[in-house]
Amino acid sequence: MNALFQYISTVFKGVGTLLTGMKITGKYVFTPWNNVTQQYPENRDTLKMFDRFRGEVIMTHNENNEHLCTGCGICEINCPNGSIEIISKMELTEEGKKKRAIDQHIYHLGMCTLCNLCIKACPTGAIVMGQNFEHAVWDRSKLTKVLNQPGSKIAQGVKE
């Protein structure tokens, strides 16, 4: 008799736990306004990444097309993957002295692990992390970027 009682209680307890589970899923199926899906390409306008989001390395330019990069190459040394190549050139300053300046700041996005070490190491704050994350391109060569804009020069007063 005891065994029979146990058998029946097993059945009822089992069914009870199953119903508890169904209650949880049922709660969500009947409240579809709580859905968490984001419709990605449609919500591009409202989708805003966090300020610190690490999407790509960019070099900031002001309205006079001036940047802060001195071409010192510290970012290149700090990069673990060799994603940054600095090609510098010698320029004559107004006083007639020779001074190093950036010719091309080459950035290989395809190799970058977005570790933030270059930005942390940059002494002048010339490079920062951009929030763009849509990097898909049809051709791998497009992932190699020159960060300083053509014709740009270093802003006044920035020293190594």
Partner 1 sequence: MGFNIYDFSGMTHNMHLWFLERMSPTATTIVEWTIIGVSYMLFVALFGLFLVYAERKVCAAFQQRLGPMRVGYWGLLQTIADFIKLLMKELIMPKSADKFLYNLAPFIVMIATFLAMAVLPFAKGLQTLDFDIGIFYVTAVSSVGVIGILIAGWSSNNKYSLIGAMRSGAQILSYELSVSLSLVTIIILAGSMQLSVVVESQRDAWFIFKGHIPALIAFVIFLIAGTAETNRGPFDLAEAESELTAGFHTEYSGIKFAFFFLAEYINMFIVAAMATTVFLGGWMPLHFGSFESFNVVMDFIPPLVWFFMKVLGVIFLIMWFKWTFPRLRVDQILTLEWKYLLPINLINILLMSLVVLTKFHL
Partner 2 sequence: MSETKEIIITSDKIHTDEYLVNMGPQHPSTHGVLRLLVRLEGEMVHNIQPHVGYIHSGIEKMCEAISYPQVIHLTDRMDYLSAHMNNEAVALCIENALQVEVPERVKYIRTIMDELSRLASHQLWWCVMGMDLGALTTFFYGLRDREHILDIFEETCGARMTLNYSVPGGVMFDIHPNFQKRVKEFIKEFRKKLPEYDQLLTGNVIFQERTNDIGYLSLEDAIAWGVTGPSGRGSGFSCDVRKHQPYSAYPLVQFEEKLATKGDTFTRYRLRMEEMYESLHIIEQLIDNIPEGDYAVKMKGVVKLPEGEFYQRVETARGEFGVYIVSDGKKNPYRVKFRSPGFSNLFALNKMAAGHKIADLVAIMSTLDLVIPDIDR
Give me 57's structure tokens. Answer: 């390395």
Which residues from 12-71 bind partner 2, rule CB under 8 A?
Answer: 13-14, 17-18, 20-21, 23-25, 36, 49-50, 52-54
Q: Based on CB atoms, which residue is closest to partner 1, 14 or 82?
A: 14
User: DSSP per residue over 20-70, as a string?
Assistant: HHHHHHHHHHT-GGG-----TGGGTTT----TT---EEEE---TTSEE---
Closest CA to 145 of 160, 155, 130, 125: 130
User: 124, 92 in Cβ contact below 8 A?
Assistant: no
Quote the least distance from Cβ 96 to partner 2, whole Å. 32
Pick the piece of the chain touching partner 1 (CB under 8 A) from 29-37, 57-65, 81-89, 90-98.
Answer: 29-37
Which residues of this chain interact with partner 2, rule CB under 8 A?
13-14, 17-18, 20-21, 23-25, 36, 49-50, 52-54, 78, 80, 113-117, 120-121, 129
Which residues of this chain interact with partner 1, rule CB under 8 A?
11, 18, 21-22, 24-26, 28-29, 32, 34-37, 39
